Amino acid sequence: MQGTDIILIGGGGHALVVAGSMRDLGLVPVGFLDDSDQAPLARGQGAIPHLGPLCELDTWLEQDRKTIVAIGAIATRRRIIDAFAGLTEAATVIDAHALVRASAEVECGSFIAPGAIVQERATIGRHAIINTGAIVEHECRLGVNVHVAPGAVLGGRVVVGDDALIGLGARVLPNVRIGAASVIGAGAVVTRDVQPAERVAGVPARTI
């Protein structure tokens, strides 16, 4: 895969991180799509071309180009994933300074950030984010569009449903199940299963 085959969708803060990881891998993307031409990725050091608003994606889909959704917000990511399903092949970016064990599986469209660790036999679903310094321990199973925020840790055999957010620095104990579309607050320590769409925070984590 060449960097010139990849278009970033989104140009905000998370896109800066994805583009930086691509740069460290020697990949230079075609550019990025964002509804704002003043997005951070268009300006300053490491800027890349702004190709236009999201609605113009189809005009850039040629020569087997791939895309990666470079937006951190779960709900926005889901809307884009659903809107562009079948129109483009998703690229996967694994930072040069991330550790992904050979027995782990990272599905298409996912981003593994600097310092992240994905341990033995873990499965990372499509379009997931394992953000800076996050740890996904052995045999975890993560669904589609899951975001494990910077510094969060999932103990062994944790199961995370689609569209769930594990907040900054949160800890999820081994064998816990995190339901789809749930939110784990920053710094929470999760000792029990979390139901779909439930929001929890605190130590130990409780419903909020």
Map 35-103 to HEC letters: CCCCCHHHCCCCCCCEEECHHHHHHHCCCCCEEEECCCCHHHHHHHHHHCCCCCEECCEECCCCEECCC
Residue pair 127/112 in contact by the 8 Å Cβ criterion = no
Pull the structure tokens for residue 104. Answer: 């782990």
Query: Is 138 annotated as catalytic?
Result: yes
Q: Point out the catalytic residue in the list 14, 50, 127, 138.
A: 138
Sign of CA dihedral 190, 194, 196, 201: negative
Please identify every residue annotated as catalytic. Answer: 138
